[in-house]
Amino acid sequence: MVHLTGHRFIVPFVIVIAGLMTLATPARAQISIQQPQSQVGFQGGASIDPEQAFVGVFWQSPAIGNRLHFRPGIDGGFGNDLRVATINLDFMVRFSLGSTGWDLIQGGGPVIAITKIDGFEGTDISAGGSYLIGFAHDSGFFGEFRIGGGNTPSLKMGAGFAIKF
DSSP per-residue letters across 65-85: TTTEEEEEEEEEEEETTEEEE
Predicted TM-score (pTM) of the model is 0.77
Render pLDDT for 115-130 as a digit per residue (tens, 0 to 9): 999 999 999 999 999 9
Beta-carbon-side half-sphere exposure of residue 132 (alpha carbons within 13 Å): 29
**72 within domain boundaries:** yes
Between CA 84 and CA 103 the distance in angstroms is 29
Q: What is the mean pLDDT of the chain?
A: 88
Domain that holds residue 118: 39-164
Render pLDDT for 42-79 as a digit per residue (tens, 0 to 9): 999 999 999 999 999 999 999 998 899 999 999 999 99
**5 within domain boundaries:** no
Render pLDDT for 97-107 as a digit per residue (tens, 0 to 9): 999 999 999 99
**43 within domain boundaries:** yes
Between CA 66 and CA 163 the distance in angstroms is 20
Q: How confident is the model at residue 20 (pLDDT cuts 50, 70, 90)?
A: low
**15 within domain boundaries:** no
Q: In CATH, what number is assigned to the domain containing residue 152?
A: 2.40.160.20
The pLDDT score that the predictor gives to residue 36 is 72
**23 within domain boundaries:** no
Fill in the amino acid letter for 70.
F
**45 within domain boundaries:** yes
Between CA 47 and CA 26 the distance in angstroms is 53
**126 within domain boundaries:** yes
The pLDDT score that the predictor gives to residue 3 is 56
CA angle 67, 47, 57 (to 5 degrees): 50
Looking at per-residue confidence, does 1 or 34 come out higher? 34
**141 within domain boundaries:** yes
Please state the domain count of the chain.
1
Compute the average pLDDT of residues 144-165: 95
